Amino acid sequence: MSQPQTINLDAVREILSRHKDTKGALITVLQEIQEAYGYLPRPALSEVSAAMGVPLSKIFGVVTFYAQFHLKPRGKHVIRVCLGTACHVRGGERMLEKVGEILGIGPGETTDDQKFTLERVACLGACGLAPALMIGDQTYGRLTGKRVEELIKQYREN
Amino acid sequence: MTTVNLWIDGKNVTARQGMTVMEAAEEAGIRIPHLCYHPLLEKTGACRLCVVEIEGARALQSSCTVPVAEGMRVHTMTQRVINARKTVLELLLANHPTECLTCEKAGDCALQDYAYEYNVRSDVYPGKKKEYPLEDNNPFFTRDHNKCIVCGRCIRMCADIQGQYAIDYAYRGFSTRVLTAYDESLVDSPCVFCGNCISVCPVGALTPKWERGKGRKWQYEKVRSVCPYCGVGCQIYLHVKDSKVIGVSAADGPANRGLLCVKGRFGQDFLEHPDRLTKPLIRVDGRFVEAEWEEALSLVAEKLSAIRDKYGPDALGFLSSAKVTNEENYLMQKLARAVFGTNNVDHCARLCHASSVAGLAASFGSGAMTNSIEEIENADVIFVIGSNTKEAHPVIGTYITRAISKGARLIVADPRKTDLAACADVHLQHLPGSDVALLNAMMHVILRDRLHNEDFIRNRTEGFTELKEMLEEYSPEVAEGITGVPADKMEIAARIFATAKKGTILYSMGITQHTTGTDNVMSIANLAMLTGHIGRESTGVNPLRGQNNVQGACDMGALPNVFPGYQRVDDPTARGKFEKAWGRALPDKVGLTVVEMMNAARAGQIRGMFIMGENPMVSDPDISHVKESLEQLEFLVVLDIFPTETAQLAHVVLPAAAYAEKEGTFTNTERRVQRIYRAVPPPGQARPDWLVLCQIAKAAGYEMDYDSPADILAEVATLTPSYGGISYERLDGEGLQWPCPDPGHPGTRYLHKDKFTRGLGRFYPVAFKEPAEWPDKDYPLILSTGRVLYHYHTGSMSRRARALDELVPGGYVEIHPKTAEALGIADGQMVRVETRRGWVDTKARVTDTVSQRVIFMPFHFAEAAANVLTNPALDPVAKIPELKVCAARVTLAGKGDAQ
């Protein structure tokens, strides 16, 4: 649990003030908090629990159910390595390993400098470019180990 | 009630409207397999094992959720149904370890049984299996996520029944697990280790640690019993194998309905603790030497008789016990009165609810909980004052939580922010000892706003005018100055309670353990009568009794002023009746109470004492004084299951059988007399207390011959009107609630229905009085004491239960962060707590549970005994000491100028 201890919860309170009395607003609240903080900080969820009367165990259940929610801070660049059928056949797994090796993290993890988050995804819809990955909003295809190295170097520098 | 006719497997079945197909089938003796369904829990229809074919419906239906309908034709065992169930089981087994050889649950596992019944193999769908490490990070039970079939029963138990919400489903699909928030240890979650999740888990995912490897379902026998900890009276099953208790499960008793708390489920291994006394001990030259029973019994009889002969009968004192059975309490007071000729007999009810007995007897005519536990769930307003119910009476706490989830409103008056207070609509955080002012202010508001129940007051009560006059001066503003509670909060609370349809009041030692204890109780009675919330279902004034049999010990006359059934010793008619029955002239002078006996011992007026199953060296106020008193005695005999702090001072120590080792009855807080059964033999030469009492009487020259406790209760019934109809034959199962005056009487669910026991209810106007000791310059803080969930009373049992002791090994003092800061104290530091009686060193727990002027200590821990500090000042009527308030100061340990 190496999360920052001091988080300004003003944004959370503002979001809650708009939604806390609306039945079924939990997911909206979580989405807005994630929008504001980039992830769902624990103190924010405790605040949500107290204000909306939803047990923390339940909120944790909702947050872990949906892939869209993140409990840990995310890197500046999110790398999504495709492991859909086409990419799988053309070495997507090796690309994932390569990225992990360069960054020293596994899927779902973020580098200590908060620069990169690594994720595996089922299909990016870029099968013609397999093996493919995305960094932020950019898609890169026909990858090789060398190309992956270059890409990461390029993103690391800016 | 509307009935519905349907056909199940060709059989014509009549069901009630609203029942599910499964329930109707069950009643008709047709068993439908199920995993996620449990009768105590909300139905989810998730596991799909209970599917049935219903004519006219396209798909198979889950019988646990489909309601019955007129003319419905159900088939529970067609090939289609069987195939579907098989697939469900195959899919479950595809991802379930088949470790039945070593699984604790084998023989009691629903999945195992169904796999066998449906002849299902585990290799039909080979694939990935869950591989989670065993969760073993709490002292009570393990969770094996690999065995979990995610049926969700534990989640619903925790949330809907227990109200803790510690766990829920987390993650998705194959990764779905039942977890705490952030998958942290249960110890760091809201979990209270009631273990009720274990009792609904259909497979071996949840396993109590102390039971592991000791025996499986077909190897042990289940013996019904009653939990020996608090006064709720939860029925339990003791699992017995090779003459040992190897496990515990909840029985469907009327008070607990299948639920238990952490002490009931995980606290019974004290029975096997190596400290158990197994042989009589006699002190020779300052050391205990093992002796034979004969020798010890004659010595006791001889010494007690000699003291009586030399100094008179009132030089003897007898402490009976709220832990032993009714029969044993009856014999103890009979021993004191008939054999040794003194009314100096009392027990620890003096320290907990003496003021309830006195106060409620004055107001209503009967000093017991007016209504039943189960009724709490249907109240629409619950007012809890001076009761930390979720910790001290945990299973009653669950009735409150369930009432809240049904829409009831909760008012809690407590100087501490307890877990219960956190659930309240209004929390009145008043200063300890200011209860009368608080209650009077609430009544002031009710009268001012004309929310009182005029009909009830006119028809059922007397003394209203005096009350009304007295209340005039207690405006909420005045009370705010005394209680520290904002006036508007008292206003809100008053209105909520007065406008309830069924308002019930629960209280406990926060009310009783004061020099104004009787006043506090009468004040509560006033509030109930003023609003008419008494004499009806789900209302009433409900003192939650502390010990498993404290109600019974009082009923049996283990009190210095009354015979069994509260018949006064100074009433010649009553005395005559007992003299005739017992064949001895009986003393007419009211005897001494617990604290008075200690004072008399100190003064040399009491020379000999017999203490059975009590530990005044931890439970009584001002322990240093208690020690001096007991050390002064010429002769002290202690009959107990453990060498308690008190037994250390005795001349003779006699080994007693514990509750699981004897027959008898306990009376729980709702006046319910329930049976306990002998499950295992006592260790070594330990004997049941009733037998020891008979043998002492005999050795002292009085025939006390009973074949069994049933015989003793039969004698009780002839002398105690409220127990007149109670006998062992009638007590199997649910037990009986007194008053039960004759053998045909069904017992009494709630008291004062059309008429109070004393006729009219009596309003006693009660003015606020300050506690005996109030903070001053030298001792600026208010010390209050109480219990924690994981321990019980003086800890003689709970501290010898391995898991309870592991989780909470020692005491502490709660200090508000601001107070701690001002004193330079940090959380976890050793501090010295001092009062005018003495000091103890203990750990600081810095928390805003208490307010700034208040500190709190649990009293279970002899090495940091809160009762070294407490004030023995007495309530003038009930003679209860003021354990809840005294003036104290706190310093960093080693830095103060103590002594």
CA A3 from centroid of its chain's CA atoms: 15
Nearest to B679 by CA among B222, B322, B213, B16: B222
Query: Would you call A125 exposed, middle or buried from its count of C-beta atoms within 10 A (0-12, 13-18, 19+)?
Result: exposed
Does A28 score more than 60 pLDDT?
yes
The amino acid at B470: M
Cα B342-B343-B349 angle, rounded to 5 deg: 140
List B180's β-bridge partners, or say none. B167
Contact A60 B179 (CB under 8 A): yes
- For B577, other C-beta atoms within 10 Å of its C-beta total 16
pLDDT computed for residue B655 by the predictor: 98
- Three-state secondary structure call for residue B110: helix
- What is the Cα–Cα distance from B678 to B666, expressed in whole angstroms? 14
Task: Provide DSSP, A53-74.
Answer: T--HHHHHHHHHHSTT--SS--
Return the sign of the alpha-carbon dihedral for residues B710, B712, B715, B719.
negative
Contact B167 A56 (CB under 8 A): no
Query: Across the A/B interface, how many CB contacts are shorter than 8 Å?
Result: 44
Secondary structure letter of residue A107 according to DSSP? T
Whole-number Cα distances in Å, B447 to B407, B408, B453, B465, B478: 26, 23, 9, 12, 16
- Over residues B307-347, the pLDDT tens digits come to 999 999 999 999 999 999 999 999 999 999 999 999 999 99
**Domains identified in chain B and CATH numbers:** 3-77 (3.10.20.740), 110-114+125-269 (3.30.70.20), 281-350+549-737 (3.40.50.740), 370-449+467-543 (3.40.228.10), 781-892 (2.40.40.20)
Return the sign of the alpha-carbon dihedral for residues B39, B43, B47, B50.
positive
Provide, for chain A, the percentages of residues in helix, strand and coil under a 3-state DSSP scheme, each rounded to the nearest 5. Answer: 50, 10, 40
Residue of B nearest to A61 (CA): B170
Residues contacting residue B450 through CB under 8 Å, at least 6 positions apart: none
Q: Which helix (H) or strand (E) holds B358?
A: helix B354-363
Q: For residues B446 and B452, is the Cβ–Cβ distance under 8 A?
A: yes
Q: Residue B597: phi, psi to the nearest 5?
A: -60, -40
Secondary structure letter of residue B574 according to DSSP? H
Q: For residues B178 and B152, is the Cβ–Cβ distance under 8 A?
A: yes
Does any CB of chain B come closer than 8 Å to the CB of residue A57?
yes
Contact A58 B168 (CB under 8 A): yes
Query: What ipTM does this complex have?
Result: 0.88
Nearest to B470 by CA among B540, B537, B519: B519
Does B508 score more than 50 pLDDT?
yes
Average confidence (pLDDT) over B748-771: 95
Residue of A nearest to B179 (CA): A57
**Domains identified in chain A and CATH numbers:** 10-65 (no CATH), 77-157 (3.40.30.10)
The count of residues in chain A is: 158
Query: Would you call A35 exposed, middle or buried from its count of C-beta atoms within 10 A (0-12, 13-18, 19+)?
Result: exposed
pTM confidence score? 0.91
Residues contacting residue B498 through CB under 8 Å, at least 6 positions apart: B446, B449, B451, B452, B530, B531
pLDDT-derived band at B862, boundaries 50, 70, 90: confident
Strand pairing category for B3-8 and B73-75: parallel
Q: Which of A45, A56, A64 minimises the CB distance to B171? A: A64
Residue of B nearest to A59 (CA): B181
Residue of A nearest to B159 (CA): A55
Contact A57 B165 (CB under 8 A): yes
List A79's β-bridge partners, or say none. A118, A135
Average confidence (pLDDT) over B234-249: 96
List B316's β-bridge partners, or say none. B608
Q: For residues B245 and B624, is the Cβ–Cβ distance under 8 A?
A: no
- What is the Cα–Cα distance from B865 to B883, expressed in whole angstroms? 12
Nearest to A103 by CA among A75, A127, A62: A75
Nearest to B584 by CA among B345, B344, B340, B343: B340
- What is the Cα–Cα distance from B807 to B141, expressed in whole angstroms? 12
The amino acid at A49: S
Average confidence (pLDDT) over B509-514: 94
pLDDT-derived band at B621, boundaries 50, 70, 90: confident
Contact B165 A65 (CB under 8 A): no
pLDDT computed for residue A7 by the predictor: 85
Within 101-140 of A, beta carbons closer than 8 Å to B belong to: none
Nearest to B318 by CA among B352, B346, B354: B346
Q: What is the mean pLDDT of chain B?
A: 95
Q: Which residues on chain A are in Cβ contact (under 8 Å) with B181?
A: 45, 55-57, 59-60
- Over residues B344-395, the pLDDT tens digits come to 999 999 998 999 999 999 999 988 999 999 999 999 999 999 999 999 999 9
Does any CB of chain B come closer than 8 Å to the CB of residue A61?
yes
Average confidence (pLDDT) over B442-448: 97
- Three-state secondary structure call for residue B387: coil
Average confidence (pLDDT) over B38-52: 94
pLDDT-derived band at B896, boundaries 50, 70, 90: very low
Contact A55 B159 (CB under 8 A): yes
Does B770 score more than 90 pLDDT?
yes
Q: Which residues on chain A are in Cβ contact (under 8 Å) with B167?
A: 57
Contact A55 B165 (CB under 8 A): yes
Q: Which residues on chain A are in Cβ contact (under 8 Å) with B159?
A: 55
Q: Which helix (H) or strand (E) holds B442?
A: helix B435-448
Q: Which helix (H) or strand (E) holds B360?
A: helix B354-363
Q: For residues B304 and B336, is the Cβ–Cβ distance under 8 A?
A: no
Does any CB of chain B come closer than 8 Å to the CB of residue A65?
yes
Residue of B nearest to A53 (CA): B423
- What is the Cα–Cα distance from B511 to B523, expressed in whole angstroms? 10
- What is the Cα–Cα distance from A10 to B550, expressed in whole angstroms? 53
pLDDT computed for residue A156 by the predictor: 87
Q: Which of A42, A45, A60 minimises the CB distance to B170? A: A60
Q: Helices A26-37 and A56-65 sit at what angle, rounded to 10 degrees?
A: 70
Q: Which residues on chain B are in Cβ contact (under 8 Å) with A56?
A: 165, 181-182
pLDDT computed for residue B895 by the predictor: 60
Q: For residues B265 and B704, is the Cβ–Cβ distance under 8 A?
A: no
pLDDT-derived band at B59, boundaries 50, 70, 90: very high
List B235's β-bridge partners, or say none. B226
Query: Would you call B564 exposed, middle or buried from its count of C-beta atoms within 10 A (0-12, 13-18, 19+)?
Result: buried
Residue of A nearest to B186 (CA): A57
Residue of A nearest to B181 (CA): A57
Query: Would you call B895 exposed, middle or buried from its count of C-beta atoms within 10 A (0-12, 13-18, 19+)?
Result: exposed
Contact B181 A65 (CB under 8 A): no
Q: Which residues on chain B are in Cβ contact (under 8 Å) with A45?
A: 181
Average confidence (pLDDT) over B138-143: 97
Does A15 score more than 90 pLDDT?
yes
pLDDT-derived band at A3, boundaries 50, 70, 90: very low
Average confidence (pLDDT) over B280-308: 96
- For B225, other C-beta atoms within 10 Å of its C-beta total 25
pLDDT-derived band at B830, boundaries 50, 70, 90: very high
Average confidence (pLDDT) over B147-157: 96
pLDDT-derived band at A108, boundaries 50, 70, 90: confident
Q: Which residues on chain A are in Cβ contact (under 8 Å) with B170?
A: 60-61, 64-65
Q: Which of A60, A65, A66 minimises the CB distance to B181? A: A60
B517 φ/ψ sector (left φ>0, alpha ψ -120 to 50, else beta): alpha
Average confidence (pLDDT) over B449-457: 97
- For B802, other C-beta atoms within 10 Å of its C-beta total 18
Q: Which of A42, A55, A64 minimises the CB distance to B170? A: A64
Average confidence (pLDDT) over A91-105: 93
pLDDT computed for residue B127 by the predictor: 86
Cα B465-B471-B472 angle, rounded to 5 deg: 100
**Roughly how many angstroms between the first and final C-alpha of chain B, as a whole number?**
73
Does any CB of chain B come closer than 8 Å to the CB of residue A72?
no
Does B899 score more than 50 pLDDT?
no
pLDDT computed for residue B636 by the predictor: 98
Mutate to test the interface with B, among A1, A40, A57 (most CBs of B within 10 A): A57
- Helix extents (H) in B588-648: 594-602, 616-619, 623-632
Pick B750 or A68 by higher pLDDT: B750
Contact A65 B166 (CB under 8 A): no
Does B897 score more than 70 pLDDT?
no
Chain B residues within 8 angstroms (CB to CB) of chain A? 159, 165-172, 179-183, 189-190
Nearest to A101 by CA among A145, A41, A141, A133: A145
- What is the Cα–Cα distance from B599 to B616, expressed in whole angstroms? 13
Q: For residues B656 and B670, is the Cβ–Cβ distance under 8 A?
A: no
pLDDT-derived band at B898, boundaries 50, 70, 90: very low
Q: For residues B704 and B334, is the Cβ–Cβ distance under 8 A?
A: yes
Does B864 score more than 90 pLDDT?
no
